[in-house]
Amino acid sequence: MTQEIPANAEQQPAISLRGVTKRYGKLQALSDVSFDIRQGEFFGLLGPNGAGKSTLISALAGLIRVNSGHISILGADVEKDYRRARMNLGVVPQEIVMDPFFTVRETLEFQSGYFGLRNNGKWIDELLEQLGLNDKADSNMRKLSGGMKRRVLIAQALVHKPKVLVLDEPTAGVDVELRQSMWRFVRRLHKEGHTIVLTTHYLEEAEELCDRIAIIDKGKLLALETKQDLLARGLGSKLLVRASHSIETIPPQYLDRVTRLAGNEVELTIHRDSDSIMQILDGLRAASISIEYVSVLNDSLEDVFIRMTGEQSGVRA
């Protein structure tokens, strides 16, 4: 199978979304979503349940038709040029699905054939090895545990060595050991030049792995930034101050920064770029607070995420 590569293939975004809108009846699952994922990125797609992450993935995989907008994979439109788009895309669906008639190896061999590949045995062996499925190769799909079925799904998404790999919550319900070996494998693919797109509800995972992160909620893109920018975004960090006595009064210019005041401790939000911590501390001292201990608490991705999507979730806010 020969693949035509346009002259400017290098500069093409791995995934490009322009004005993508999807409605289910009255529900707006995606509204006017536009952004690019660059080649070679490790990209995180975050958002609460029902945000539209899986809908977005289905749209770019051609599993659903969007109401308006355009999506392309490495420059190939997912509808008009679907062959080239799909040859370059591997998708691990969120739901565990399998064909109960076949063994693991048969499943992978058929999947290779669907992409026009014959004699893909060597790569299949490697996938089985890397995903720890060697001793299950000839087991029927029905007899695998949930985590193993998930590994087969990953292998299936990779049979044709797609340049762009999209994983929709691949670590849900997966044990710690597998999660680590899975990430080792995905990192290796990333190092070898594959573009990786990941959705997850484990924010530490995204924080650890992703270069850039998009946050979507209710079908809208809320933010798309590098992890560093996102972490430093807006409210930034907190300043924890402990006094040698219980704190009674706070200088009025700092009042709206106070997030917590309890006994001899006060917590203030600070803008890392624009604030001078020394100035704030001087201000507190001037109000005759004798400072005993100071600490700067950096926001985790979870804090940022909750702040951005938190209003409606209520649970943790």
Partner 1 sequence: MNWIATYTLLSKEVTRWRKVWLQTVLAPVVTALLYLLVFGHVLEGRVEVFPGVSYTEFLIPGLLMMAVIQNAFANTSSSMIQSKVMGSIVFILLPPFSALEMFLAFIGAAILRGLAVGVGVFLLAYFYVGVSIENIFVILAFAVLGSYVMAALGLIAGMWAEKFDQIASFQSFLIVPLTFLSGVFYSITSLPPFWYQMSKANPFFYMIDGFRYGFFGQSDQPVLLSLAVMLSASVVLTLGCVLMLKSGYKLRDA
Residues in contact with ligand ATP by CB under 6 A are: 24, 27, 29, 47, 49-55, 94
DSSP sequence for the chain: ------TTTTTS-SEEEEEEEEEETTEEEEEEEEEEE-TT-EEEEE--TTSSHHHHHHHHTTSS--SEEEEEETTEETTTTHHHHHHTEEEE-SS----TTSBHHHHHHHHHHHTT----HHHHHHHHHHTT-GGGTTSBGGGS-HHHHHHHHHHHHHTT--SEEEEESTTTT--HHHHHHHHHHHHHHHHTT-EEEEE-S-HHHHHHH-SEEEEEETTEEEEEEEHHHHHTSTT-EEEEEEESS------GGGGGGEEEEETTEEEEEE-TTT--HHHHHHHHHHTT--EEEEEEEPPPHHHHHHHHHHHHH-S--
Report d(CA 178, CA 175) in Å as an integer: 6
> Would you count residue 121 as binding partner 1 (CB under 8 A)?
no
Which among 268, 288, 290, 292 has a CA at the least distance from the CA of 280?
268
> Would you count residue 64 as binding Mg ion (CB under 5 A)?
no
Please, what is the minimum distance in Å from the beta carbon of residue 82 to partner 1?
6
Per this entry, what is the length of the chain? 317
Name the one range near partner 1 by CB under 8 A: 113-121, 258-266, 276-284, 294-302.
Answer: 113-121
Q: Which of 54, 107, 120, 309 binds Mg ion (CB under 5 A)?
A: 54
- Ranked by CB distance to Mg ion, the top (closest) residue is 54
The one of partner 1, ligand ATP, Mg ion, none whose footprint includes residue 262, by CB under 5 to 8 A per kind, is: none
Please, what is the minimum distance in Å from the beta carbon of residue 315 to ligand ATP?
14
> Would you count residue 99 as binding partner 1 (CB under 8 A)?
yes
Please, what is the minimum distance in Å from the beta carbon of residue 55 to Mg ion?
8
Judged on CB neighbours under 10 Å (0-12, 13-18, 19+), 124 is: buried
Site string for Mg ion, 185-204 (x = CB under 5 A): --------------------
The one of ligand ATP, Mg ion, partner 1, none whose footprint includes residue 139, by CB under 5 to 8 A per kind, is: none
Number of residues that bind Mg ion (CB under 5 A): 3
> Would you count residue 86 as binding partner 1 (CB under 8 A)?
yes
By CB under 8 A, the residues from 142 to 181 that bind partner 1 are 156, 160
Q: Which of 18, 23, 102, 222 binds partner 1 (CB under 8 A)?
A: 102
Please, what is the minimum distance in Å from the beta carbon of residue 185 to partner 1?
20
Please, what is the minimum distance in Å from the beta carbon of residue 279 to ligand ATP?
42
The one of ligand ATP, partner 1, Mg ion, none whose footprint includes residue 89, by CB under 5 to 8 A per kind, is: partner 1
The residue among 76 and 221 lying less far from ligand ATP, judged by its C-beta, is: 221
Q: Which of 5, 34, 50, 83 binds partner 1 (CB under 8 A)?
A: 83
The residue among 57 and 266 lying less far from partner 1, judged by its C-beta, is: 57
Chain residues in the site for Mg ion (CB under 5 A)? 53-54, 94
